[in-house]
Structure 1
Amino acid sequence: MGPLFWRLCVINGAVFTIGTLALAFSPATVSSPVLLREILVLGAGLAIILITNALLLRRSLAPLTTLTALMHRVDLHTHDRAVDRGNGDLTYLIDSFNTMLERLETERSSASAHALAAQENERQRIARELHDEIGQSLTVALLGLKRVADRAPAELSEELQLVRDTVRGSLDEVRQVARRLRPGVLEDLGLHSALTALAADVAPAVDVTRRIEALPPLTPEVELVIYRIAQESLTNVVRHSKASSVRLSLRPDGPDLVLKITDDGIGGARAEGAGMRGMQERALLIGARLTVTSAQGTEVTLTIPGVIG
């Protein structure tokens, strides 16, 4: 039996023992038939016993109310924990619940890391196939069309030129998709250049203002998370926000590093969307905090703690 069981037994036993002793040594008597005055005395005594018992039990069981409320609101994206208020009766239960939350958070983080690593590997595989296979096939087709155009009659030259332009446009799109899937510029030139390239990609659709300050060396995992969250945010701006301008900043804030993307669009970003969930998962992998505010325009803020020495 747990300590709570024995405490409840002691509380109830003590209350009823004290009540019995109080009645036994009091001058009160019970007649037969019972008089009205005696009924009032017995009723008052019973009321005192029940109220005392209820108050003591309420104090002992109060942590259960806190624990139940935490169970309803708990989210593995946060780090809420049940707090022992010094009662001591439910310490074991509270400790077990907190241990369970920590284990679930660890398992979720590990599973997310494996899933995102697999996703990055799949992105790289698809990017290679697009570049090496489809891209080369389109290049061969473009060269073949050029040779045909050189020997074709004049009346077909315009149509062949249209076909060549279409193939060339498809080749450019394939290369652009491959770059988005596998950020080679991030590996080759670093985070600053990669973010600049992202801003240039969306510049035809929306005016981008950049503020990227000098940064200390970052781990590849942190750089990739920053890049992917910036990429997803800018993509959402172009596709959904109807914004005319967006500000992208990456700068130190004390010991923290803060990425912020703010647009002047219509707002209304959904926190439960697949893109937002993906960004939250990525932020958790490096212990960062992602917040999204979306009223008039949308602001995405990624705060990475303790990376500035």
Structure 2
Amino acid sequence: MSLFWRVFLLNAAVLTGATVLLMLSPATVSTPVLPAEGLILVAGLVAMLVANAVLLRIGFLPLRRLTRAMTTIDLLRPGSRPPVSGHGGIADLIMAFNAMLDRLEFERATSNARALSAQEAERRRIARELHDEVGQSLTAVLLELRRVADEAPEAVSAALHQVQETTRDSLDEIRRIARRLRPGVLEELGLASALRSLTGEVRGAAARCRIDGVLPELGEEVELVIYRVAQESITNAVRHSGATRIHLLVHVEPSEVRLRVRDNGVGTGDAPEGAGIRGMRERALLAGATLAVETLAEGGTQVRLDVPISTGGGR
């Protein structure tokens, strides 16, 4: 039944009930209307309006739930759907909205996969250029500085050795950036070693990594999602929360892999989610995982990532 006919029948039911009640009641209307008769008419009108409002509110309740869902839905938290209720046009409208959400989530996941794939390819290209071109150039400069320092007078040699140490530090920093852009240890030694290496490279905070259980074969894309979420969580803790301790925990369950990154920083508070957290959510969607960022009662922040093992494929 269409929405038009539902509203029509609700109003018709109210008017019909009022007409029957008026026919069966002993009330009469005089000309001019007496005060007692006026009160009866006003009471009858109020009763009709109240009954009509109650019936319409009940009939439009599914639309109110749909409106609330439209204003609160978040495509980065998929799966939430308003229940299909009501009759006729209302149920059709809710089903059409749910189908639209399915298409939007699918298109967003597809476009995010392409964008993140292009981003990773660009990261690998920049890492190769840093390692092969800038790194080799600095290595050549370092060797030349060493040769010149050995042949220079003592006063100049000391200054050249200082420049040599600065160049060596710059070369180490470039190599570290290249490793962050392209986690070669993830490809060569696996996810467990990559996460341990990630915490081992943290500067400015004491970081430790614990892995409970043996990580199964999750597939390159899923492992990269876990690695990037851990990397972004640690980066946020060091740069933005002022954390001095970071604990990375991976727990392997029969049906899922759970990643927890905790810190003792200032927490997120009521601040809106930044690009980093939204990027983590987009990556979590690629693995069919759920991600939550919460402020701990004892202080600090915890990032939770739960990755179903069934979504992972073999290498």
Q: Residues 233 and 27 from structure 1, CA distance in 2 versus in 1: closer, same or farther, beyond 3 angstroms?
A: closer
Q: Secondary structure at the residue paired with 1:266?
A: coil
Match among 269, 280, 297 for residue 300 of structure 2: 297
Give CA-to-partner distance per residue, 1:144-200, whole Å, 9 cap, x none: 222222332233111111111111111111111111100111111111111111111
TM-score for the superposition, normalised by structure 1: 0.91
Q: Could you tell me how far 1:201 is from its partner in structure 2?
A: 0.5
How many residue pairs were aligned?
A: 307
The 1-side partners of 2:284 and 2:272 are apart by 14
What secondary structure does 2:76 align onto?
coil
Amino acid at match of 1:147: R
Alpha-carbon displacement from aligned partner over 1:193-233 (angstroms, at most 9, x marks no partner): 1111111101x533223211311111111100111111111
The DSSP-based 3-state class of the residue aligned with 1:5 is helix
How big is each residue's C-alpha offset from its partner over 1:84-140, in whole Å with a ceiling of 9 and x where there is no partner? 345555101111111122222122212211211111111111111111111111111
The alpha-carbon distance between structure 1 residues 95 and 136, as it changes in their structure 2 partners (threshold 3 A), is same
Match in the other structure for 2:170: 170
Segments of 5+ residues of structure 1 without an aligned counterpart are none
Of stretches 37-46 and 214-223 in structure 1, the one that deviates more from structure 2 is 37-46
> Residue in 2 aligned with 1:91?
91
Q: What is the alpha-carbon distance in structure 1 between the residues aligned to residue 16 and residue 44 of structure 2?
A: 13
With over 3 angstroms needed to count, the CA separation of the structure-2 counterparts of 1:187 and 1:48, relative to structure 1, is same
Question: Whose RCO is larger (CA < 8 A, sep 6+)?
Answer: 2
The residue type paired with residue 91 of structure 1 is A
Alignment-mate amino acid for residue 158 of structure 2: E
Query: How far off is 1:21 after superposition?
Result: 4.5
Report SS of the residue matched to 1:268: coil
1:49, CA displacement in angstroms?
Answer: 2.5
* TM-score normalised by the chain length of structure 2: 0.89
Structure 2: segments with no counterpart, 5+ residues: none
Partner SS, residue 243 of structure 1:
coil
Cα displacement (A) at 1:281:
1.1
Contact 2:59/2:86 (8 A) holds in 1: no
The DSSP-based 3-state class of the residue aligned with 1:241 is coil
Following superposition of structure 1 onto structure 2, how do residues 140-179 of structure 1 map, counting pairs within 5 Å?
140-179=140-179
Report SS of the residue matched to 1:258: strand
Q: Could you list the per-position Cα deviations for residues 43-67 of structure 1 after superposition, in whole angstroms to 9, with x for gaps in the alignment?
A: 3332332222222212111112211
For the pair 1:58 / 2:57, whether they are aligned, the reply is yes
